[in-house]
Amino acid sequence: MIETERLKFREYTLDDLPFYASLWGNYEVVKYIGAGIPKTPPEAKAHLEERILPSYRNGVGLFAMIYKPENKLIGHAGIIPQEIEGEEEYEIGYWLSPDYWRKGLATEAATAFKHYGFNALQLDKLISLINPNNPASIFVARKNQMFYEKTVHFLTSTALVYAIYKEDYER
């Protein structure tokens, strides 16, 4: 699968449920995701079983993120198909445990999936959907060569769409 200097990625399994549920149960992690409401462990289990595990087709989905220096699961990242204003788009998404924030790991993961999306998946455009109140994710998107494209209503809230096109990205 995908590896960077400090990170490696693999498909989630049900064995990862305690970690996955810990991410969903942490308000600081989910406050900018969708409606910003944490999930209970049973809700997180259902989400893992119904949304994440079946999504690994055609190389897309959210992949468990392992911090190689500690061989520890610290978050997830990947490319997720999304419907934005009636169009299918491919979003680079990432979540990290708070202990690993501000270390450049989200940017490292997002950059890896940008390369993966353009090179392995042969996508022409990638986006990130970002809550307008989340400056850290805006910073990651800009570091990943993305530009503000538009503001949309997505699911239950407003989201900024940051985008990059294949012809504009630096390999």
What is the architecture, at CATH level 2, of domain 7-168? Answer: 3-Layer(aba) Sandwich (3.40)
Render pLDDT for 95-137 as a digit per residue (tens, 0 to 9).
999 999 999 999 999 999 999 999 999 999 999 999 999 999 9
Q: Distance between CA 150 and CA 159 in Å, rounded?
A: 9
Burial class (CB in 10 A: 0-12, 13-18, 19+), 56: middle
Computed on alpha carbons and rounded to an integer, the radius of gyration of the chain in Å comes to 15
Q: Who wins on pLDDT, 1 or 9?
A: 9
Q: What is the pTM of this model?
A: 0.93
The tokens describing 82, both together, are 């999304």
Mean pLDDT (whole number) for 59-69 = 96
Average pLDDT of the chain is 94
* Percentage helix, strand, coil for the chain under 3-state DSSP, each rounded to 5: 35, 35, 30
What pLDDT is attached to residue 26?
96
What is the pLDDT at residue 71? Answer: 97
Going from N- to C-terminal start, the domains of the chain cover 7-168
pLDDT for the residue numbered 170:
64
pLDDT, residue 169, reads: 74
